[in-house]
Amino acid sequence: MIIVGSGPAGLTAAIYTARARLAPLVIEGEPSSTSDQPGGQLMLTTDVENYPGFPDGVMGPELMDNFRAQAQRFGATTLTRKVAKVDLSATPRQIWIDDATKPEPDFTATAVIIATGAQSLMLGLPNETELIGHGLSTCATCDGFFFRDQEIGVVGGGDSALEEAIFLTRFASKVNVLVRRDELRASKIMQDRARANDKIHFVWNTVVTEYLGDSKLSGVATKDTVTNTAGTMELAGLFIAIGHKPSTQLFVDQLEIKPNGYLVTQPDSTRTAIDGVFACGDVVDDYYRQAITAAGSGCMAAIDAERWLEEHHSG
């Protein structure tokens, strides 16, 4: 049993499969400033207040350390390396670590659980990683609560940006939506809802050029995309909502991928079209994208995998 990915989905699958005595190997990814650091997106957050069981909240990295320790306690092995290539058509399934050009795979597995997650697209500006969780966020559901009665910004003009902006009006005194063109990409119905909301203010033809504030965001430097005029805005918080990118590059041409980039699983299941290959968490979820839903789907993948192994490989 090999699990690829070590966010809430992968490590929950590890806890369940370890407790089912399947001795899972979790290939975690490697530390980096982007999505493939071990532990997934929660490693880039600070306070997590919506994960059930923690009435006083918990720090994202601490929560993931706990997931990992729990999986290891039941016999899961974790490997802090990157998968370079998979061959899911071979039996058993083949996995290469670090270098895709090696003639032989490093591991083979009867069952594989894919939990490679997704990353929020970011602006790529200096100090971005450091400011996440310190005024900069990619999740209104998670962090909106921290900005009660304050003026904040949302970057983007799609459905995600407007959904986040509308949600954030429950907390913030004013939500500036920074749109790089003079029109929105969002659906008409979301546009109507956002335009009807008094707390939402559109800032057209505007891109963020710099995050202001060292250890905590205090505002942004901006540029008008038509006139090139530079400006600044004081903001207590900024939400980046310019889309997500699921981590599916390893599976292109092997598994079915939706036009929006997410892996396809069978309805109400984590089974993929390949026998013994399961997918869970944000790499399949283009809708909920929460740690708790990822963890739930990791549990589903573990149970699906256990039952599949029992049916096909008992004894």
H/E segment holding residue 193: helix 188-195
Among the listed residues 36, 142, 280, 299, the single catalytic one is 142
Strand ranges of the sheet holding 25-27, from the earlier edge strand across to the other edge = 77-79, 25-27, 2-4, 112-114, 277-279
- Residue 155 near ligand NDP by CB under 6 A: yes
Candidates 58, 59, 97, 123: give the one binding ligand NDP (CB under 6 A): 123
For ligand NDP, the nearest residue by Cβ is: 158
Distance (Å) of CA 267 to CA 247, 273, 284: 21, 11, 11
Calpha distance 267→89 (Å, rounded):
22
Candidates 102, 170, 181, 307: give the one binding ligand NDP (CB under 6 A): 181
**Residue 157 Cβ, how far from ligand NDP at the closest point, in Å?**
3
- Residue 193 near ligand NDP by CB under 6 A: no
DSSP state string for 82-128: -EEEEESSSSSEEEEES-TT-SS-SEEESSEEE---EEE-----TTH
Restricted to residues 250-289, the positions that interact with ligand NDP (CB under 6 A) are none
Calpha distance 168→143 (Å, rounded):
9
With CB under 6 A as the contact rule, which of the stretches 98-106, 153-161, 245-253, 277-285 interacts with ligand NDP? 153-161
Distance (Å) of CA 251 to CA 164, 243, 261: 30, 21, 11
Distance (Å) of CA 198 to CA 146, 170, 175: 20, 12, 9
Spatial neighbors of 167 by CB under 8 A, at least 6 apart, are 140, 141, 144
Candidates 17, 160, 248, 270: give the one binding ligand NDP (CB under 6 A): 160
- Residue 243 near ligand NDP by CB under 6 A: yes
How many positions of this chain bind ligand NDP (CB under 6 A)?
Answer: 16
Spatial neighbors of 29 by CB under 8 A, at least 6 apart, are 5, 6, 36, 37, 38, 80, 81, 82
Restricted to residues 199-228, the positions that interact with ligand NDP (CB under 6 A) are 207
Is 142 a residue of the active site? yes
Candidates 242, 257, 274, 292: give the one binding ligand NDP (CB under 6 A): 242
**Residue 241 Cβ, how far from ligand NDP at the closest point, in Å?**
6
**Residue 208 Cβ, how far from ligand NDP at the closest point, in Å?**
7
Among the listed residues 56, 106, 139, 282, the single catalytic one is 139
Among the listed residues 36, 47, 56, 143, the single catalytic one is 143
Is 139 a residue of the active site? yes
Calpha distance 10→205 (Å, rounded):
40
**Residue 41 Cβ, how far from ligand NDP at the closest point, in Å?**
15
- Residue 180 near ligand NDP by CB under 6 A: yes
Which residues belong to the active site? 139, 142-143
Question: Which residues lie near ligand NDP (CB under 6 A)?
Answer: 123, 155-161, 163, 180-181, 185, 187, 207, 242-243
